[in-house]
Amino acid sequence: MLSNYTAKYTKISSGYMGQLVEWPEVITEGKTLEECREMLKDALHEMIAAYREQNKEIPIGEALLEQIPVEV
């Protein structure tokens, strides 16, 4: 079964931090956005394997993100 997860990337002093919206425990960092993206995919695969091994329910993907403009 193919599932889509929503990644959130934040610029930090050492590069980028990546985290899944639907599964906040899946988090990583990389020097570049591309490196962070690849590391996040790897972290997701590892977390899925760990959850399956422990017979835990895997969170479902498909979050919807929306930016809300506001004057500050």
Count, residues in the chain: 72
Provide the pLDDT for residue 5: 93
67 located within any domain: no
Domain count, the chain: 1
16 located within any domain: yes
Which residues of the chain fall short of a pLDDT of 70?
A: none
29 located within any domain: yes
Provide the pLDDT for residue 57: 94
Provide the pLDDT for residue 61: 83
68 located within any domain: no
Reported as a single tens digit per residue, the pLDDT across 44-56 is 999 999 999 999 9
Provide the pLDDT for residue 3: 85
Provide the pLDDT for residue 38: 98
The pTM assigned to this predicted structure is 0.83
Contacts of 33 (CB under 8 A, 6+ apart): 9, 16
Residue 27 domain boundaries: 7-53
